[in-house]
Amino acid sequence: MSTQISIQKKVSFVFSAQQIVDCDTYDGGCNGGWPSNVFDYATYNYVTNNATYPYTAKQTGSCNSNAVKSANAPYKVATYRIVPYNCASMLLQIKKTPMVVALDGKALKSYKSGIFNGNATAVSHAVLLVGVDSCDNWIIQNSWGATWGDKGYARLQKGNTLLICNYGGWNVTMV
């Protein structure tokens, strides 16, 4: 959502992941969830920034209602759509705009650099698919910070590496 806000509104905005962990009742907080549920939450609730509702790396047990009032949280999801569940459709779409994708995050934990081509067992994590390189290898941005991978990014071998094509992708429009 932060990337789409930056692209559409021409402002730098880092949305609060902690707000989603604490306030999105469709998912399991720190135990995970689905991007479509987060987008459903953000369709009906304003999304604030990380400075207003900082990340604590744990579920606090309650939603900070003062932080998510519209004065502090200026954006909502207008629409989102699912990109079809195949690598060819995702490759066409990513050349137009970034999208959220689900993949096997456990296999990525030890990634440092290069083109990852490891095995996957189950989809467990969402990342931002930001593009492809000149060989059509996927380029992802992870939420684990700049100390992970290649300054917060990774390149995955083209194709269904880490099950990236199993659930398609999600494109978001913000208001």
* 31 plus 44 within the same structural domain: yes
* 87 plus 61 within the same structural domain: no
Q: What is the pLDDT of residue 115?
A: 97
E strand or H helix at 110, and its extent?
A: none
Q: Encode pLDDT of 42-52 as tens digits.
A: 999 988 988 89
Question: Domain containing 8 — which CATH number?
Answer: 3.90.70.10
Residue ending a domain, among 50, 75, 100, is 75
**Number of domains the chain is built from:** 2
Do 122 and 162 contact (CB within 8 A), yes or no? no
* 57 plus 21 within the same structural domain: yes
Which residue's entry shows tokens 């990852």?
Answer: 116
* 68 plus 86 within the same structural domain: no
* 71 plus 100 within the same structural domain: no
Mean pLDDT, residues 137-152: 93
* 17 plus 55 within the same structural domain: yes
* Position 95 confidence tier, pLDDT thresholds 50, 70, 90: very high
Q: Residue count of the chain, please give it.
A: 175
* 71 plus 99 within the same structural domain: no
Residue ending a domain, among 57, 75, 93, is 75
DSSP of 99-135: EEEEE--GGGTT--SSEE--------EEEEEEEE-TT
What SS3 class is residue 99? strand
* Residues catalogued as catalytic: 125, 142
Answer yes or no: pTM beyond 0.75: yes
* 106 plus 32 within the same structural domain: no
* Other Cβ atoms closer than 10 A to 150: 14
Domain of 132, in residue numbers? 80-174
* 60 plus 109 within the same structural domain: no
Does residue 31 have a pLDDT over 90? no
Q: What is the pLDDT of residue 32?
A: 78
Which amino acid belongs to residue 156?
L
* Position 154 confidence tier, pLDDT thresholds 50, 70, 90: very high
* 170 plus 91 within the same structural domain: yes
Q: What is the pLDDT of residue 66?
A: 83
